[in-house]
Amino acid sequence: MTLRLPALLVTAALVLAAACTPGTGGGGGGDGKSFEFWSFAAINQKVSVDAYRAKHADVEVKLTEVGTSTETAQALTTALAGGKVPDLVLIQGDNLPKFVQQPQNFVDLRTLGADDIKGDYLDWVMKQSVAKDGEVLGIPTDVGGMAIAYRTDLFAAAQLPTDPAAAGALWPTWDAFIETGKRYKQATGKAFTDNAATSVFYQAVNQVSEKYYSEGRELVYDRNPQVRAAFDVGIKAATAGITAGQTSFESAWSAGLAQGQYAAVAAPSWMLNTIRSTAPDTKGKWAIAKIPGGAGNWGGSYLAIPKRAKNPQAAWNYIKEMQSPQGQLDHFGRVGALPSTPSVYQDEKLASSKDPFFTDAPTGKIYTDSLLGLKPFYIGPDSATIGQEFLNAITNVEQSGGNPATAWDDAVRNIKTAIG
């Protein structure tokens, strides 16, 4: 998930990226083993790099956390236009399609051995990184099976059930989730969830069978009833008085998470590490229940190698080892990122894993179950921009007094302006 940041911050990220390019020191030194790696922040990619270096002491990896996933994609775009590129870059799934349309800017990973491993990954995830002529431009690192994380102590104070099965039974649908929020608000006088844009709309719209594009790759965002239904439930949440009005991942949101200013938050598998690192003193106060609707995916990223990378083989060696089924399983154990390699879904380390931070929630089973029955949809080159404008429209209603009656039309008009 990505959120729009002020232009000053985006510019700062691009300046940082330009400064942190191969040849400026550290990795990417041309020894055939070391390389430079651009990642986005807040996902603790350093843990994976450290694990790799523990096995390969002769390899130096210069890791640069450029900024948000959007800022990292923007920095990569700038570099591809003529700057110095990294050897390896992490690209968030919604940002990937624009790059897939530019296969000339990336190494076709088939030339390094991708054909030997592409069958290891979920078909619908791998498909997103394949260009029109079959070039494989990225290897998937994870997927974002969905759930709801909630504070058991705050639920208990509101006389709501704290057991995950009972809590999940409160909200089989998003309408029921909103009604639960009203019960919580009435009992406590406090916000039930962080915001309507990401914890309601963005989850609902990622549960559809067809999203902003048709399977024929035609834009349908403005006439797709599934998108409209997800938007309407987002507006319903925004006007129900149940949200804290805190934009995801901003400083107020982080403070609210740590201070218990809201009781429930949409939590794809990768969000657990965010909660753990942002609110360490809340260990044992969280549990995880099913997402309304039962299934869905939010997020997932890919590792790609720019065409002008100085050390493509070194970067590929990292991909092949760290994104293998075993590598992804080990990474799940370190940070909770859900593997995109289904062969490990029945592995005991995943299937029976429990997270003590989240009251021993069976995270492996919860998140793999959330992918069952999922109907993948095509993600197109403007999906990220379209989604951002829908998020903006809901946030405008929630936080700035925007008119809910015109919010849909406002969003569609802004999308048409943004994408042409």
Task: Pick the range with the lowest mean pLDDT from 178-192, 204-218, 277-291, 368-382.
Answer: 368-382
From its phi and psi, is residue 293 left (phi > 0), alpha (psi between -120 and 50) or beta? left
Strands (E) located in 33-163: 35-39, 61-65, 88-92, 139-140, 148-151
DSSP letter assigned to residue 62:
E
Q: How confident is the model at residue 336 (pLDDT cuts 50, 70, 90)?
A: confident
Q: Tell me the mean pLDDT in the region 327-332.
A: 95
Q: In 265-283, which positions are buried (b, 16+ CB within 10 angstroms) versus exposed (e)?
A: bbbbbbbbbbbbebbeebe
The model's pLDDT over 106-157, given as tens digits with 9 standing for 90+, comes to 999 999 999 999 999 999 999 999 999 999 999 999 999 999 999 999 999 9
DSSP letter assigned to residue 258:
H
Query: Residues of the chain with pLDDT > 90: what percent?
Result: 83
CA 133 – CA 117 distance, rounded (Å)? 19
Residue 316: CB atoms within 10 A of its CB come to 23
pLDDT at residue 388 above 80?
yes
Contact at 8 Å (CB) between 84 and 23? yes
Question: Could you tell me how many residues make up the chain?
Answer: 420
Residue type, 408: W
The model's pLDDT over 286-316, given as tens digits with 9 standing for 90+, comes to 999 999 999 889 889 999 999 999 999 999 9
User: Which residues lie below 8 Å from residue 292, measured CB to CB, with a gap of 6+?
Assistant: 148, 171, 172, 173, 174, 176, 177, 203, 204
CA 338 – CA 350 distance, rounded (Å)? 9
Structure tokens at 203: 């989850």
Helix (H, G, I), strand (E, B) or coil at 103: helix
Q: How confident is the model at residue 376 (pLDDT cuts 50, 70, 90)?
A: confident
Q: Tell me the mean pLDDT in the region 3-14.
A: 34
CA 366 – CA 294 distance, rounded (Å)? 10
What pLDDT score was predicted for residue 374?
78
Nearest-Å Rg of the Cα atoms of the chain is 21
DSSP string, 310-354: S-HHHHHHHHHHHTSHHHHHHHHHHH-PBPS-GGGTTSHHHHT--
The model's pLDDT over 45-78, given as tens digits with 9 standing for 90+, comes to 999 999 999 999 999 999 999 998 989 999 999 9
What sign results for the dihedral spanned by CA atoms 394, 272, 241, 247? negative
CA 251 – CA 13 distance, rounded (Å)? 18
Q: Tell me whether residue 26 is exposed, middle or buried, using C-beta atoms within 10 angstroms of its C-beta: 0 to 12, 13 to 18, 19 or more.
A: middle
Structure tokens at 3: 């959120």
CA 77 – CA 333 distance, rounded (Å)? 33
What pLDDT score was predicted for residue 402?
98
Contact at 8 Å (CB) between 306 and 107? yes
The model's pLDDT over 208-217, given as tens digits with 9 standing for 90+, comes to 999 999 999 9
From its phi and psi, is residue 294 left (phi > 0), alpha (psi between -120 and 50) or beta? left
Q: How confident is the model at residue 30 (pLDDT cuts 50, 70, 90)?
A: low
Assign domain 148-296+360-419 to a CATH class. Answer: alpha beta
- For the domain 7-144+299-344, what is the CATH superfamily, name and number? Periplasmic binding protein-like II (3.40.190.10)
Location of each CATH 3.40.190.10 domain in the chain: 7-144+299-344, 148-296+360-419
3-state helix, strand, coil in the chain (%, to 5): 50, 10, 40
Structure tokens at 212: 């902003």
Contact at 8 Å (CB) between 79 and 86? yes
